[in-house]
Structure formats: C-alpha cells, structure tokens
Structure 1
Amino acid sequence: MTADPADDTRTRILRAALDLFAEHGYQRTSLRQIGERLRLTKAAILYHFPAKENLLAALVEPFVADLEALLDSAQTQPTELARWTVLEGWVDTMLAHRRPLGMLFHDIALIGRGDTYHRLVEIAMRANDLIAGPDAGSRERVRAVQAVAACSDPVVFFADVSDEVLRADMLDGVRRLLAAPASDAAAAAGAGLGPGSPPHGTPVGRRRPGRPRALGREQVEVARRMHAAGTHSVEAIAATLGVSRATVYRHLEGQ
C-alpha cells in the first residue's frame, strides 16, 4: 500500500518542529527533541534538514510562496484593483497561515541568513509599490507601508479574535488609512474608497454621501458574529461596517 504523502517523514518532522517551537521556542528546541518526539535519530532529521534553520525556512515557505503568487496575480491589474487585490489577499494569506505565523513570530528574523529573507524583502517592496501606485508621492508611499503593517500585525497580536471579525476590522482600518483627504471626499466616495465601501474594483456610478441604510448578507453575518463574540459593542460594529447603530440594531433583531 502506498503511504499517504501527507504522512511522509519530512512532513512529520515539520509538524513536530512546529509543535515544539510553539511549546518551547525555536532557540530552546533541539533537533534531538524533535527526533525523540518522532522516534527518529538526529541523523534522520539532518537527512531532510541539514540545519535547524532549514526547518524554520521550510515552515515559512508556504506563506512566502502564497504572497508571491498573490503579487503575481495583481501585477497586471489596473492600479486601483491591484491595490485592493493585494490588501485583501494579504489579509487572507495572513489568516490562512495564522498558526505558524503566531508561533514563529519571534523567530522569523533567524531566517535572515538565507534566501527566504531576500524573498520577503522583495515581497514587501513589490506590495508597497502596488499599493502606492505608479505615480505615488512620499505620502502615498508611507501610507502603503503602513497599510501592509495594518494587514499583518493584528493577526499575531489578536490571536483570540476570530478570523471573520479580525478580517473585517483589519480591512476597515486600512480603508480608513488610505481614505482621501477631506478635500477629495466626493471623489473618494465615487471611487469606493470611503469606510464601509467594497474594496474590490470601482463601483459603477457614484455613491451617494452618507452611510448605507442596509447591509449585505455577508456583512450581516459578520455583524452577528462580532456581536455574538462579545468583543465589539454595537457602536464598534457600526464603525467597522460603515453604517449607523440603528442599521446594526435592525439587522441584529430576531437573530
């Protein structure tokens, strides 16, 4: 019988390493401990990973590869669509790799001696350029760097918040960060850049000023989950979704 590829030795080593790094930290976990957990010799570990830092790089690799694929897909899109493809995709990638990111947060710097570090730097630079846009000035470039941080750091620091709630909060925050100055408010509303507006693409027609009086089905589900989790007040939910408190209360009634 052919063995399940998911249970091959290399995969088992990576799983055990991730668990032990979470329990004891990278520095305090030895290859011998990983081998003991799997009943493998240190030599067997070294056959697949010549050094402990190779384990860390391998654990980060799926995350890095997903970010590279995201940027490749956004590269050929129009500026505004590319910007929000990167931002939404960045949040989703962070959430998809939430467990290893949280566990390895303090150890990722240790991959700095290898190729992974250079790839991460290149990824950050490409993301900043796509978010800022081709004719960006210093303000837009600073905001782009801040936007990447806004789509990254909360995943690590708010491990107790659900994916749905955290995603809504992160994207709301970055929309507010990138909102146009007050003098450009009308243009921003028309382009769909105001708080609570959909991030993907540019809406057809101009959006009327003021907050919407209704929520879409997905937003209703997010509002109800946020309320049920007890982590947000109605005021906070309304601010996150860009609607009035009355609109939130109306959708929460009878749930």
Structure 2
Amino acid sequence: MNERKPPDTRARILETALDVFSERGYQAGSMREIADRLQLTKAAVFYHFPSKSVLLATLCEPLSEGLEDVLARARRIEDRVGARRQLIEGTLDVYIRNRKLLYVVMQDLTTLAHDRTFQHYIALIERVHAAFTGPYPDVAVRVRTVQIFAMLGDPVFLCRDVPIDRLRAEIMAGVWTLLDDPATSGLVTRDEPERPAARTGARRPGRPRALDEAKAEAARRMYEEGDRTVGEIAERLGVSRATLYRHLTGRAPSA
C-alpha cells in the first residue's frame, strides 16, 4: 500500500507562505502570520528561511526554472517556427502551473521592483523575447512580441476563476488573433531570414483565411454540439477566430 508522505516543515512553510502572500500581498503578509497558521514559532520559520526575501526567492524557483527550461527546449529546436511555438506555449504552461505565484508577483510590482528575485524574472522574460524575435527585429515585431507574451501572463493573473483548460484555449485563441496582423503573421507559420525585410504593406502568409467545405462542416458540427468554444475550434482547425466566425453565419460568437 502506497502512503503519501506528509510534507516536511520546509514544504509546509512554502505552501502556507504562498497562500498568505496571494491573499494579503507580499508586503502585507508577514512571517508571523505564516508561523501562526502553521502553529509554529516565528523562530522555526526563520530557521528554514532567514528572511522574507529568501522565502520569496525560494517560492519563485519553479517559475524561473520553468522559463529556463522553456528557453533550453526552444534552443534545441532547429526550425525557428517550431522554436517560437515552443516559447509561446511553454511560457503559457509555466505561467499556468505557477498562477498563484504569478498573482503574488503582479500585485506587488512596485514593492518588488528592486528585489533581486524579481529582476531575475524580468531578465528571463527579456531573454524569452529575444529568443522569439531573433537578432534583427523591426519595431513591429518587437512590439507584437511584447504584446504576445503579455497576453500569456495577464489573463492567468486576472482570470483566476476560469478553469485551466478553458483559460489556456482562450489565451491561445487570442494570441493567434494577434498573429493575424500582416506585420507578424509569419512569425509562427513559416521560417524567416535572419534579417527581416522592410515592411511593404503586403500580407505575409499566416493562418488560412478560409476553410474548405469539409472543415467548415466540421466546425459547424463542433459548434452545434456546444462542447467547445470558438477559440478551441479555431485552434483545432488551424484558423483564426475571425475566419471561423465567417463560417458560423447567423450565430453569435461565444466567449
């Protein structure tokens, strides 16, 4: 018979600290409150974590390690399009796994601005952006890249009541909608030269703007069944939500 080993004191402190900081904020949450909830002395908490900043740094380790792993995985993918997809989807999955911690970080941005742990996190995000854009991004690509990755984190932070599977599908649908922009539609749909060509106003190849009849019928059937959102159907069929809406004439778009 397998019995789960109860968490040790250090793990219990981390779990409780995350609860306290997410409920009250990092600045307002205290080591005393963490100790009281665990029915420990404050000295026992300080034995494991000599300061609140050390406690926060330890809490942030899975977030930082997750982003490092995303970068490492992307570097191992030779195809640039595949690498960019890994950066988007991998970063989103890291955020979702650490959604409570992300809330702690985001609600205390002013307090944490000069914290070494937070600065390390920002540096990791900048590395993710740089890996995504490549060495010679134009302004449009740089701005869209920032927007894309903000679209990954902000809903995880602000939509904590949404079930994870639904949240992930809707976030990715939003990212694909943004990537329909003519300036950046090629970023995750085809490989690009090392130095982007000047913008000419012509639309680059992106997600298909039309469905063949078989896929259109499949889309209508999935929509009628009501088990999937428009975003989930669009992602499954490889088209934008805007394209899918055109094949659902007479139907109000669902959230």
Mind listing any 5+ residue stretches in structure 2 that lack a counterpart?
192-205, 234-238
Give, in whole Å, the separation in 2 of the partners of 1:58 and 1:117.
Answer: 12
- Aligned equivalent of 1:156: 157
- Aligned equivalent of 2:130: 129
Q: Deviation at 1:144? A: 1.0
- Aligned equivalent of 2:227: 224
Q: Residues 248 and 82 of structure 1: is their aligned pair in 2 closer, same or farther, counting only changes over 3 Å? A: farther
- Aligned equivalent of 2:97: 96
Kindly indicate whether the alpha-carbon contact (under 8 Å) linking 1:132 and 1:143 is maintained by their aligned counterparts in 2. no
- Aligned equivalent of 1:117: 118
Give, in whole Å, the separation in 1 of the partners of 2:188 and 2:45.
Answer: 56
Give, in whole Å, the separation in 2 of the partners of 1:112 and 1:5.
Answer: 38
Classify the secondary structure of the residue corresponding to 1:214. Answer: helix
Mind listing any 5+ residue stretches in structure 1 that lack a counterpart?
193-205, 251-255
Q: Residues 131 and 6 of structure 1: is their aligned pair in 2 closer, same or farther, counting only changes over 3 Å? A: farther
- One-letter amino acid of the counterpart of residue 167, structure 1: R
- Aligned equivalent of 1:12: 12
Kindly indicate whether the alpha-carbon contact (under 8 Å) linking 1:86 and 1:131 is maintained by their aligned counterparts in 2. yes
Deviations 1:72-106 (A, max 9, x none): 11023222111111001111111111122224431
Q: How does 1:1-255 map to 2 (within 5 A)?
A: 7-77=7-77, 78-107=79-108, 110-181=111-182, 191=190, 209-211=209-211, 213-214=214-215, 224-226=227-229, 240=241, 242-244=243-245
Identity %: 34
Q: Residues 242 and 44 of structure 1: is their aligned pair in 2 closer, same or farther, counting only changes over 3 Å? A: farther
Q: Residues 99 and 9 of structure 1: is their aligned pair in 2 closer, same or farther, counting only changes over 3 Å? A: same
Kindly indicate whether the alpha-carbon contact (under 8 Å) linking 1:189 and 1:209 is maintained by their aligned counterparts in 2. no
Q: Residues 57 and 25 of structure 1: is their aligned pair in 2 closer, same or farther, counting only changes over 3 Å? A: same
Q: Deviation at 1:12? A: 0.6
Q: Residues 79 and 180 of structure 1: is their aligned pair in 2 closer, same or farther, counting only changes over 3 Å? A: farther
- One-letter amino acid of the counterpart of residue 149, structure 2: V
Q: Residues 209 and 84 of structure 1: is their aligned pair in 2 closer, same or farther, counting only changes over 3 Å? A: same
Give, in whole Å, the separation in 2 of the partners of 1:84 and 1:166.
Answer: 18
- One-letter amino acid of the counterpart of residue 146, structure 2: V
More helix by share: 1
Give, in whole Å, the separation in 2 of the partners of 1:40 and 1:189.
Answer: 51
Q: Deviation at 1:64? A: 1.3
Q: Deviation at 1:35? A: 1.2
Kindly indicate whether the alpha-carbon contact (under 8 Å) linking 2:87 and 2:128 is maintained by their aligned counterparts in 1. yes
Cα RMSD, aligned residues only: 3.9
- One-letter amino acid of the counterpart of residue 224, structure 1: D
Aligned length: 224
Kindly indicate whether the alpha-carbon contact (under 8 Å) linking 1:70 and 1:89 is maintained by their aligned counterparts in 2. yes
Q: Deviation at 1:239? A: 6.2
Deviations 1:190-224 (A, max 9, x none): 749xxxxxxxxxxxxx986513553889xx59961
Deviations 1:131-174 (A, max 9, x none): 21233212111211111111111111112222222222222222
